[in-house]
């Protein structure tokens, strides 16, 4: 039925679909804004946790002691730690300051 209403006007159909998409996006945003602890959105935090859980449960922590005896593995862990926990946050903070200079905080 939708295609019959707009079969001669593709721009009208595109505008209608865009309008529906914007409306759904606003509803989702309002729904996610309902549950907060401080400034943390609980639905977003729960979704991130559920997304990370399978990866975290596949780590075999019992082998960590054996792996850390190898210098090459210690070097790889060190580089990974430095990139992910030191350089990454510093880079993201710098990009935020550069791209969002007019926003407070």
Domain boundaries, the chain: 1-59, 60-105
Q: What percent of the chain has pLDDT over 70?
A: 68
pLDDT 10s digits, 6-57: 455 555 666 656 566 666 667 766 766 677 777 788 888 888 888 998 888 8
Residue 79 has pLDDT above 90, yes or no: yes
C-alpha distances out from residue 84 to 2, 36, 52, 95, Å = 49, 27, 16, 16
DSSP letter assigned to residue 29? H
Residue 73: band (very low, low, confident or very high) from pLDDT cuts 50, 70, 90: very high
pTM for the model stands at 0.44
39-65 burial by CB neighbour count: b if 16+ within 10 A, else e? Answer: eebeeeeeeeeeeeeeeeeeeeeeeee
pLDDT for residue 40 = 80
Task: Using DSSP, state whether 53 is helix, strand or coil.
Answer: helix
CA distance linking residue 47 with residue 61, whole number of Å: 24
């Amino acid at each position: 039925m939708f295609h019959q209403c707009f079969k001669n006007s593709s721009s009208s159909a595109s505008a209608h679909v865009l309008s529906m998409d914007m409306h759904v996006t606003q509803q989702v945003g309002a729904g996610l804004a309902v549950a907060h602890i401080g400034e943390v959105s609980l639905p977003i935090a729960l979704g991130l946790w559920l997304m990370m859980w399978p990866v975290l449960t596949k780590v075999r922590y019992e082998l960590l002691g054996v792996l850390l005896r190898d210098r090459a593995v210690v070097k790889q862990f060190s580089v990974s730690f430095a990139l992910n926990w030191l350089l990454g946050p510093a880079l993201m903070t710098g990009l935020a300051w550069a791209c969002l200079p007019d926003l407070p905080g």
